Structure 1
Amino acid sequence: MTTRAGTAMRPGLGRSVGAAGRFLAWWRDALASWLTPRWRALLGLDRERLLLVPGEGQVQLLRAGPDGLGTLAELPLPLEAAALDAVLDARLVGLPRWGLLPSVQVLRRPLLLPAAASERLREVVGFEIDRQTPFTAEAVYYDARVTGRRGDGQIEAELVVVRRQGVDRALQELGPVATGLAGLDVADAGGQPLGVNLLPPAQRTRRVSPARSWNLLAATVAVLALCFAGWQVLANRRAAADAFAAQVERSAVQARGVATERQQLVDLVEGARFLQQQRAARPTTVEVLDELTRLLPDNTYLEKVSIEGDRLLLIGLSPEAPGLVKQLEASRLWKSPALTGALQMDRRTRLDRFSLTAQLVGAPAPSAAPRGAADGR
């Protein structure tokens, strides 16, 4: 059961890896398009390669890049690796080396396949060699490429095959450099590389470009710079958030202080208003004394006048103490005057000592002045 599950997961894993590889290739090409040709060449992003075109007793050396093909040199066969390196500069030495076969040596067949076949195109077309060509899969080198995509979920592909015997003979004539080839491409009718690799994966040699170390260093620096920039942006955001929080806290403290002061001011105003209302609710001491002076007879003497809240207390001497209550009832500044306690004779003055209380009421509103006085008459 474990073997079956692992086998079932391999196609999905292959599709994921293929999709990831295509995305990385697209991303790399998109980044490279923003660079100048000089920088693309310096960083090894031009996808340049050396093409070895064998001929009659010699091999033509071509450079394939985004600008097309360029002839570098023609060297005699068989070709030694040292002789090839001698005609290349330091940048070209590290480029991948490919063989280029003429179009007359290959057989090309168009195919119509499901879109899912593009994930493992070379493996799929390997089963079509017996049907599409007069050769068997063991007798040829082959590859395939996608030439178009249709809207019905199918792809247009092309199968490219070449007889293994002819390729092996050409590689043998090429000499020792044949063992270091990264691929084997085919020229189309116009002499341009077709974009396939007929060389089996086991025979391909991957050359490390001198610019690869610089590319890795540049990528590492870019990743570190990106991480630092992200960290710096995050730190700036945190600092800005902390500063904003501190400002909000200061504003909140000020607002609470202002609210406290406002409440204190409101309390003071309310207290002053309450005191004013309390004062307005009963007569002033001067008014009470003036009223007592007006109502009490001249033979009455006061020893104590006390005002506690709205309670008026009078203690004094008078020859007609019982009649004081009736006289004090004529005032509008208090009400309910009454004697408290018994009258006592003062031996020295022969007057009755009395104690009298009354309840203060609101002060009367000042009467309007006569019209003639108001007019100044």
Structure 2
Amino acid sequence: MLTDFLSWWRDTLQACVPPSWHRPQDSPKIVIKRAGLALVLNDDVQPIEAYDIEAAARLAAEGVAAAHRAALVVALEPGRFVLRKLSPARLPASRVRAMASFDLESATPFATSDVRCFVLRPVDETRPSPTAYAIVKRNVIDPIVEALRSVSVPIAGVVFLPAQGEDQIWALSTGDLAELNKTPSWRRNFPWITVTVIMLASAATFAHLSSSYSLAQTQVDETLPALERKAKAVRDELNRRSARMAEIKALRRNLAAQRPMAEVLEEIARVLPDSAYLTDLSIKDGSASLVGFGQSASAIIAPLEGSPMLKGAEFASPVVKIPGQDGERFDITLNVLSR
């Protein structure tokens, strides 16, 4: 909770600082392109041949000194990172990291040991923006960071340039940037904790928060009805699917409980006397009907009742004596027990 508050507080105060005070666009930049590197000094683009990271670091150190800057910016072009949006609303940093870790493992083909996940913030804090994170392969970003660290050039920021047709520029969150620079936690948080006690910063934060709340409330009022309709449709669909699943489970239970016809036929053949034979046999919904002839129809009931599979044997119609013969015609109904 405290870490989330400090991260939010740093980002909020940084958003209150006018861009003209720090003008990050004038800082030297190393641009990681699709096919190589480029160093940007005062709008002068110097391509780095053969992806020579050490040469880029040396030139960056010279450019930082010439521009009288303390650090430089690393920019990544589209294709050197994967942008993943998690939520239309801004979330705490710890929640974003947990969601990003789950999303990386469940929805992307990347291995966690091969990539870095960076929590992002929009460069333009005045416009509504979703919660997002970037996936960058370690073999893309780590060599640059190590090379800059070897020449004592800290990273002022990491910028993720938009793809064609988009205008949203993302930057690394302050927490991830400090971790990338390996800044000690006390040094990272001390200036912001000091600023917290200043009334002017508190007043500015309150004004910014009030404006953000008003904007968020307007967005909620606009989007809530559509989201409620979608939620109702999803609930209705879930209820329909649950009902179908219940029906399927009931059918499966019934099928599993019913005995196969071959098993019933085998049992009837086993218990019927040798002097009896069937002319018709029907099995349906756990009941069986036997029609046939035998020397003594009454002697058939007892063997059927003695079977552990068959119960409730009784004559469905009167026994008919066959003219000119010793046999009797019978029609017996009985119940087939479930397993």
Normalising by the smaller structure, the TM-score range is 0.3 to 0.5
TM-score (norm 1): 0.35
Q: Which has the larger radius of gyration?
A: 1
